[in-house]
Structures are given as C-alpha cells and as structure tokens.
C-alpha cells in the first residue's frame, strides 16, 4: 500500500532528555493507525511532529514524499481538549479556521458533518452549553471541515465517560468509512486502539521507538461480537504484555 506518512529515524531531544529516538514506520493512505505505549514514551511528541508544529532533532517525517517542516493544510489535528473558543458559538468555532486562512467554507459539507455527528440544531450554542462529548464532536467537525488528507487525533476521548467514549469511537469509524481520511490516533486504551485501527503500533519507554507493529484484520464496521472475540482478546493480551513488560523492567531498574 502507498505510504501517506513516512516516519524515518525520528528523534526529539529536550535539553538532555530524549523523548524519541530512531522511531521508524509508515502510515498507509486511507488507513487508521493507533499508537500506544507507556506514559511518557513520546506519543504526543511524535504526533505533534507529524503535524509540523514541533520540529524533530533528527530524522524526518514525509507526507506524500515531501518532508514536513511546518504546519500543512493537508493535515488536521484534534487535541485532547476540544479547545473551543468560549466567546464564540459552535458554528463560529467551526468557521474560525476559514477566517484565519481567508478561505470560503463549504457550508454544505459542514452541514453534512454537523448532521453526521448529531449536532444539527446546536450551531448557535455556546461551548459552555454543550457536553464534553458534544464539544469534541464539534472539534472533529472543525478539523474535517477543511477536508484534510490526514487527521491526527491526540487522545481526544480520554476525558469522556466510558459510554460516551464508545459512542465517539463508533462515530470516528463511521466517518472514516465515509471519508477514508488517513487517521493517526494516540490513545492509552488498547481496546480503543484495536476497535478503530488497521494497525496498532507500540512504542517503547522513553526514548520512544517502535517495539511492535500489529495488524488488525477485523471486518468493518466492528461489532460488539467482534470485539468480544478470541482474536481481539489475544491481541489485547499481546499488547498489554508489551507495555506492562516495559513498565515492569523500568520499575525493577529504578528499584536497583
């Protein structure tokens, strides 16, 4: 498959601390790839480097064969927090990037996205009048309204309750099935990673590099029955063993 993103020997150093070192993998076009790993392993640092908002200390990240050296219009980003401007209503927040770029929004596409995520009728509501899940739906619409080729998602549902999180996972899968936007998804939830992804990449403890790369060959759309299968159970256990094994090694080393 064609590599939409190519991460080659990516390294990031903050002072005397290596957050990433020798991180290498590809993200195929029109796929969802999740990145998991122990806390502090550089997942978010890597994602922000993909977005062009952070520069690498070494290595490179390419989009369609061209090095990413700064923010690119082809790349959208959904943060851990919805980051809606509190003084603008929902539609004002969605249209804000167009104002900044001086572009004319495709209101038909935005209306379709709003209906798709269940926010039709809430356009004039202020962020404080929306639940956390609704705010994150708004942030997804804001990102997708620009029709990015790649969508980077940095633990966007970590603060949501379990029911809303499951609902948002299904929404992301449904939107992906419709748009086939390439997605890189950062999460601490192994189940979430498996549910959403075509591949799950496990990073090592800091400095982060690729420890394992698991294909997820499950039919879509993914059902509760699929997620309760032996195949998913075994894959979850393999990924847990990777992560917990690293955590145990780090704990033993610290104790020594």
Q: 9: which 2 tokens?
A: 């020997």
Of 147, 169, 192, the one marking the end of a domain is 147
97 and 45 co-located in one domain: no
Residue 251: inside a domain = yes
Of 115, 147, 179, the one marking the end of a domain is 147
Residue (of 109, 48, 43) closest to 77 by Cα position: 48
Residue (of 59, 52, 45, 67) closest to 186 by Cα position: 45
pLDDT in tens, 177-206: 999 999 999 999 999 999 999 999 999 999
Global confidence as pTM: 0.92
Range of the domain at 15: 3-74+150-255
39 and 53 co-located in one domain: yes
Torsion sign, CA atoms 237, 160, 93, 170:
positive
7: which strand partners? 25, 61
* Spatial distance between the Cα atoms of 25 and 5, rounded to a whole number of angstroms: 9
Question: Which pLDDT belongs to residue 169?
Answer: 93
35 and 51 co-located in one domain: yes
pLDDT in tens, 97-126: 999 989 999 999 999 999 999 999 999 999
* Spatial distance between the Cα atoms of 205 and 243, rounded to a whole number of angstroms: 8
As a 3-state breakdown, the chain gives helix, strand, coil percent values, each rounded to 5, of 40, 25, 35
Question: Which pLDDT belongs to residue 247?
Answer: 53
Of 147, 175, 199, the one marking the end of a domain is 147
Count of structural domains, the chain: 2
210 and 130 co-located in one domain: no
CB-based contacts of 90, cutoff 8 Å, min separation 6? 84, 119, 122, 123, 124, 125, 126, 127, 130, 138
46 and 166 co-located in one domain: yes
156 and 66 co-located in one domain: yes
């Amino acid at each position: 498959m064609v590599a939409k993103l190519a991460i080659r020997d990516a390294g990031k150093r903050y002072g005397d601390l290596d957050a990433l070192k020798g991180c290498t993998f590809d993200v195929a076009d029109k796929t969802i790839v999740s990145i998991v790993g122990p806390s502090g392993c550089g997942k978010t640092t890597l994602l922000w480097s993909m977005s062009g908002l952070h520069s690498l200390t070494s290595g490179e990240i390419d989009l369609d064969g061209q090095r990413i050296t700064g923010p690119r219009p082809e790349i959208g980003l959904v943060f851990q927090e919805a980051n809606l401007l509190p003084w603008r209503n929902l539609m004002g927040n969605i249209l804000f990037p167009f104002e900044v770029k001086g572009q004319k929004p495709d209101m038909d596409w935005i209306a379709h996205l709003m209906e798709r995520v269940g926010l039709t009728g809430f356009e004039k509501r202020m962020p404080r009048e929306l639940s956390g899940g609704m705010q994150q739906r708004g942030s997804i619409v804001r990102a997708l309204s620009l029709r990015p080729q790649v969508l980077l998602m940095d633990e966007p549902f970590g603060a949501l309750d379990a029911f809303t999180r499951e609902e948002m996972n299904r929404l992301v899968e449904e939107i992906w099935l419709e748009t086939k936007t390439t997605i890189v998804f950062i999460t601490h939830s192994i189940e979430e990673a498996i549910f959403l992804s075509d591949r799950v990449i496990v990073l090592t403890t800091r400095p982060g590099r690729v420890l394992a790369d698991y294909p997820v060959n499950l039919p879509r759309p993914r059902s509760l029955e699929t997620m309760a299968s032996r195949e998913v159970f075994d894959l979850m256990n393999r990924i847990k063993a990777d992560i917990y094994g690293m955590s145990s090694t780090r704990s033993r080393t610290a104790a020594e």
